[in-house]
């Protein structure tokens, strides 16, 4: 402030009052305090769910849930700016990686059965894939089997090599973890030697699981499995070099547990995979044939009566929309599902 000029005169020259000047200072201080609180919440939530790479879109509803208790809220763009200012924004980098798919083999290959598939519920389709994890100076290989509807990881195994044993162990876990064992299930994978091997195919057939495979050189036909790999590696620290095999196994276990039970999904209307998989238990099995508007109305009524608020949104939207598609197909073909 100039020593010879009073604050009132300066404020008058600039067109505002002394009260407005002090209020702007107070507002700036309050804004900085709010930003600091939000940044602390980002760190706290990431630590609580054991996910240091949880991004802005996933954090936004979780932070507002805490702020709403004090009558406050933060916009998504504002949250992104705060995270950027405090160095909390997620940064990713690319690394060289080993090849986990060997499709130069002589085993039988199966066609892709899921191109036009409409999912109505859990355990209609499970997708499989293998990704690598760096442990000291070597690689270990993580086999994953994920339910395509609920996004829940049903089975996993971290193995020392790319033999069939890892995917077999993951499949055994997935079968044991099924909540709806009587539903017709399709297993979808790439054409890697592990998934085409006699032992793996035999286990699928023994458990009455239909076999589907992506076309050779078409990873987009198994996009969900690739996406789950990326989430575990980039959000749960599995893309880093891990100091020991024991530590790697523990990190994988914690990552899968946190992903299934704590990580919300935009595609699931904010539910976690566990919640989405459990919500399916609250509605009737959709196999009895209904037709036309009666079918859609029956599903909608059932959802509104039996499901919790988030479950209503998830099951109502997914199933009502999907069933409309199937119903129209029935009218065109004049045949039941």
pLDDT of residue 164: 93
pLDDT of residue 318: 45
Question: Hey, is 242 helix, strand or coil?
Answer: strand
Let me know: does 263 contact 49? Beta carbons within 8 Å.
Answer: yes
| CA 105 to each of CA 9, 120, 168, 191, 253: distance values in angstroms, whole numbers, following the listed order | 86, 35, 18, 9, 32
Mean of all residue pLDDT scores within the chain: 77
Let me know: does 104 contact 191? Beta carbons within 8 Å.
Answer: no
Q: What angle do CA 323, 327, 331 make, to 5 degrees?
A: 170
**Which residue shows structure tokens 């919300």?**
264
For 98-103, the CB contacts below 8 A with 24+ separation are: 98/132, 98/139, 100/130, 100/131, 100/132, 100/141, 100/162, 100/192, 101/130, 101/190, 101/191, 101/192, 102/162, 102/192, 102/193, 103/190, 103/191, 103/192, 103/193, 103/216
Burial classification of residue 196, based on how many CB atoms lie within 10 Å of its CB (0-12 exposed, 13-18 middle, 19 or more buried): buried
Q: Which of 7-11, 26-30, 124-128, 224-228 has the highest mean pLDDT?
A: 124-128
Name the CATH superfamily for 125-266: Ribonuclease H-like superfamily/Ribonuclease H (3.30.420.10)
Extended beta strands in 89-182, E state? 125-135, 138-147, 153-159
Query: Does the reported pTM lie above 0.75?
Result: no
268-320 pLDDT, tens digit per residue, is: 889 999 999 988 665 533 333 334 443 433 333 334 344 445 444 444 444 44
Name the segment(s) of the chain with CATH classification 3.30.420.10: 125-266
Q: Who has greater pLDDT, 151 or 69?
A: 151
**Which residue shows structure tokens 């979780």?**
62
pLDDT of residue 195: 92
Spatial neighbors of 78 by CB under 8 A, at least 6 apart, are: none
80-131 pLDDT, tens digit per residue, is: 888 888 888 877 655 555 655 555 556 888 999 998 899 989 999 999 999 9
pLDDT of residue 30: 58
C-beta atoms surrounding 315 within 10 Å: 26
Question: Hey, is 71 helix, strand or coil?
Answer: coil
Nearest-angstrom CA–CA distance, 319 and 138 = 45
Q: Who has greater pLDDT, 266 or 12?
A: 266
């Amino acid at each position: 402030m100039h020593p010879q000029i009073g604050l009132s005169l300066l404020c008058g020259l600039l067109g505002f009052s002394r009260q407005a000047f002090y209020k702007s200072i107070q507002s700036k201080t309050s804004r900085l305090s709010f930003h600091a609180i939000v940044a602390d919440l980002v760190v706290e939530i990431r630590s609580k769910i054991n996910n240091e790479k949880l991004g802005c879109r996933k954090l936004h509803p979780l932070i507002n849930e805490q702020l709403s208790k004090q009558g406050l809220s933060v916009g998504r763009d504002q949250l992104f700016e705060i995270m950027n200012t405090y160095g909390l924004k997620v940064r990713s980098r690319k690394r060289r990686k080993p090849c986990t798919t060997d499709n130069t083999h002589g085993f039988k290959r199966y066609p892709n059965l899921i191109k036009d598939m409409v999912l109505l519920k859990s355990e209609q389709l499970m997708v499989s894939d293998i990704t690598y994890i760096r442990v000291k100076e070597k690689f270990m290989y993580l086999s994953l089997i994920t339910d395509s509807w609920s996004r829940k990881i049903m089975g996993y195994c971290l193995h020392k090599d790319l033999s069939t044993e890892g995917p077999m162990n993951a499949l055994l876990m997935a079968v044991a973890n099924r909540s709806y064992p009587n539903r017709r299930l399709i297993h979808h994978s790439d054409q890697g030697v592990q998934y085409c091997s006699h032992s793996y195919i035999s286990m699928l057939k023994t458990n009455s699981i239909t076999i589907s495979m992506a076309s050779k050189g078409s990873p987009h036909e198994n996009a969900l499995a690739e996406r789950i790999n990326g989430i575990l590696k980039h959000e749960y620290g599995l893309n880093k070099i891990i100091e020991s095999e024991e530590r790697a196994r523990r990190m994988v276990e914690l990552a899968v547990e946190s992903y299934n039970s704590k990580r919300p999904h935009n595609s699931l209307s904010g539910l976690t995979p566990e919640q989405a998989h459990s919500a399916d238990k609250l509605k009737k099995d959709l196999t009895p044939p209904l037709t036309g508007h009666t079918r859609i109305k029956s599903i909608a009524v059932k959802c509104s009566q039996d499901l919790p608020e988030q479950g209503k949104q998830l099951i109502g939207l997914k199933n009502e929309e999907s069933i409309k598609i199937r119903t129209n197909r029935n009218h065109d073909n004049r045949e039941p599902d």
